[in-house]
């Protein structure tokens, strides 16, 4: 009956498989400065892109595209756009500007692979199942694709860094994106030898992970 309906048995993974999934989640890091120059094998890169493409999406709309940036001159212009936005961002933390300026927040020129994952807001037509009352669900879907790639990369021993400090119109112009396509994630991808034991921003004293128990609510938001 299951085969005729397109269903397959459900059940837990083996202990080793389950441990590997949780390990990838726990040890995933946002990589900025640990990239090695050796290239990423094309088959490995293809597996990472397939993992992203296997993500869930609202109405099975699959709104993502994967823009690989290989041209060195274009990467240089993208780095310039980051540097300009980063200088502006530093001024927004006057009490922590020295610490902010000491953080390396990208690997655009060092990582062998640069990838922009975009969201096509028109994919699936005017009415997408599940998106009728929350238009942002296509963006959430694209973020799921990013996380899939990130976890798969950790399992492959590949580092990934998400560069978020851009003026959106700068990145859109540099990549010639049409108005209906949103750049969701600019990723730097490459081999790494070492990773921080805990998130780098925690290791560097910028922030700390919040206790899970402080974030769990029951039934409703608590009264003030």
Confidence of residue 2 (pLDDT cuts 50, 70, 90): low
Output the average pLDDT for the chain.
Answer: 96
Q: What digits encode the pLDDT tens for the residues 5-53?
A: 789 999 999 999 999 999 999 999 999 989 999 999 999 999 999 999 9
Predicted local confidence at residue 59, as pLDDT: 98
Tokens 């990589």 label which residue? 31
64-69: strand order across its sheet? 64-69, 113-120, 181-191, 158-163
The label of the residue with tokens 């990423």 reads: 40
> Per the structure block, which two tokens stand in for 151?
């976890």
* pLDDT higher than 60, residue 93: yes
Q: Report yes or no: 135 and 61 within 8 Å, Cβ to Cβ.
A: no
User: What's the pLDDT score for residue 168?
Assistant: 79
pTM: 0.95
Predicted local confidence at residue 103, as pLDDT: 96
Q: What is the pLDDT of residues 119-140, one digit of tens each?
A: 999 999 999 999 999 999 999 9
Mean pLDDT value of segment 153-165: 98
- What pLDDT score does 96 carry? 97
Q: How far is CA 190 from the centre of its chain?
A: 14
Residue 198's pLDDT band (cuts 50, 70, 90): very high
Average pLDDT over residues 179-199: 96
Q: What is the pLDDT of residue 4?
A: 65
Confidence class of residue 3 from pLDDT cuts 50, 70 and 90? low
How many Cα atoms are found within 13 Å in the side-chain-facing hemisphere of 177?
Answer: 24
Residues 188 and 35 sit within 8 Å (Cβ to Cβ) = yes
Candidates 64, 62, 59, 184; CA nearest to 134 is: 59
């Amino acid at each position: 009956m299951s085969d005729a309906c397109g269903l397959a048995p459900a059940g837990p993974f083996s202990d080793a498989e389950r441990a590997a999934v949780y390990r990838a989640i726990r040890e995933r890091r946002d990589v900025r400065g640990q990239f090695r120059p050796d290239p990423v094998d094309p088959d490995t890169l293809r597996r990472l892109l397939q993992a992203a493409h296997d993500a869930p999406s609202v109405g099975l709309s699959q709104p993502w595209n994967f823009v690989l940036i290989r041209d060195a001159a274009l990467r240089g212009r993208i780095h310039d756009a980051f540097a300009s936005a980063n200088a502006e961002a530093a001024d927004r933390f006057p009490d922590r500007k020295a610490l902010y300026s000491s953080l390396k927040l990208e690997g655009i020129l060092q990582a062998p692979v640069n990838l922009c994952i975009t969201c096509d807001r028109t994919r699936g037509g005017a009415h997408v199942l599940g998106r009728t009352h929350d238009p942002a669900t296509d963006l959430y879907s694209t973020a799921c694709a990013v996380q899939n790639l990130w976890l798969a990369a950790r399992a492959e021993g590949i580092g990934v860094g998400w560069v978020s400090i851009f003026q959106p119109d700068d990145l859109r112009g540099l990549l010639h994106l049409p108005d209906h396509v949103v750049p969701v994630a600019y990723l730097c991808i490459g081999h790494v030898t070492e990773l921080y034991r805990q998130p780098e921003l925690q290791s560097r004293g910028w922030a700390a992970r919040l206790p899970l128990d402080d974030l769990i609510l029951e039934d409703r938001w608590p009264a003030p």
